[in-house]
Amino acid sequence: MEGQQQLDVQRIEALLQELGDELARRGFTEPVRVLLVGGVYMVTQVGNRRATQDVDVVLMDMADTTDTAAATRETKLLQMAVRAVARKMKIKQHWFNDDAALFVRGFAPDPQARHWKTFNMLSTYLPSKACVLALKIMSYRRKDLADVEALCAQLGIKTREEAQAILDQFVPQEWQKEYPPDASLDEIFEQ
């Protein structure tokens, strides 16, 4: 099923449990630690969306799956487990991915991660809401406006200056110089 899938909180948790169980079946004895980012974070933590199309993660203790040269046995087993869950649950193969990992690591090297839930051999962590806001601003697309507004409301951020202070807390200055957030901030706070 490659169409537009919608994953709500219950479906997300069921998929994560199935993945944790599949990792156990594949011989993992320590949980794979992942940081949940993107839409899955907004659905499970902010609640401004009912569903997302995939589960974006940052692998915390292993090489990114996008770096085939650095792929380890564990990385390959994780990818196999993700595909097995996709087949079993009849969802798209790319339902669980770390495509945003390089971006997240660069723009927010310290996401202030805290443990959320463990699903057998899959342990999930969450960045702080302020970190997610910084990432949303740095990667801003018009479709992210509702997410940014929800995060600003929950964090009490009302001004461009307050948002810039969040950016300064999480995003290294060299990244802000290379990818200036000014246009994003202008659009977000123009209202």
49 and 20 housed in the same domain: yes
Q: Are residues 115 and 171 in the same domain?
A: no
Packed helices 73-89 and 9-25: angle between N→C axes, nearest 10 degrees: 130
Q: What is the Cα–Cα distance from 8 to 124, expressed in whole angstroms? A: 17
pLDDT recorded at residue 3: 52
Rounded to whole angstroms, the Cα distance separating 68 from 115 reads 28
Distance CA 155, CA 56 (A): 22
**Domain of 178?**
131-188
Q: Which residues of 10-45 are buried (b: 16+ CB within 10 A; e: fewer)?
A: ebbeebbbbbbbbbbeeebeebbbbbbbbbbbbbbb
Tens of pLDDT, residues 86-102 = 999 999 999 999 999 98
Judgement on whether residues 121 and 31 belong to the same structural domain of the protein: yes
Is the pLDDT at 13 greater than 70? The verdict is yes
Q: Does 31 have pLDDT greater than 50?
A: yes
Say whether both 123 and 75 belong to one domain: yes
What integer is the mean pLDDT of 169-174?
Answer: 95
pLDDT band at 68 (very low <50, low <70, confident <90, very high): confident
Where is pLDDT greater, at 14 or 110?
Answer: 14
Picking from 42-51, 101-110, 126-135, which range would have the lowest pLDDT averaged per residue? 101-110
pTM of the model: 0.92
20 lies in the same domain as 102:
yes
Q: How far is 20 from 137, CA to CA, in rounded Å?
A: 32
In-domain check, residue 40: yes
Comparing C-alpha atoms, which of 77, 80, 40, 81 is closest to residue 58? 40
106, containing H or E segment: helix 101-107
pLDDT in tens, 108-157: 888 899 999 999 999 999 999 999 999 999 999 999 999 999 999 999 99
Q: How many domains does the chain have?
A: 2
Residues 117 and 143 in one domain: no
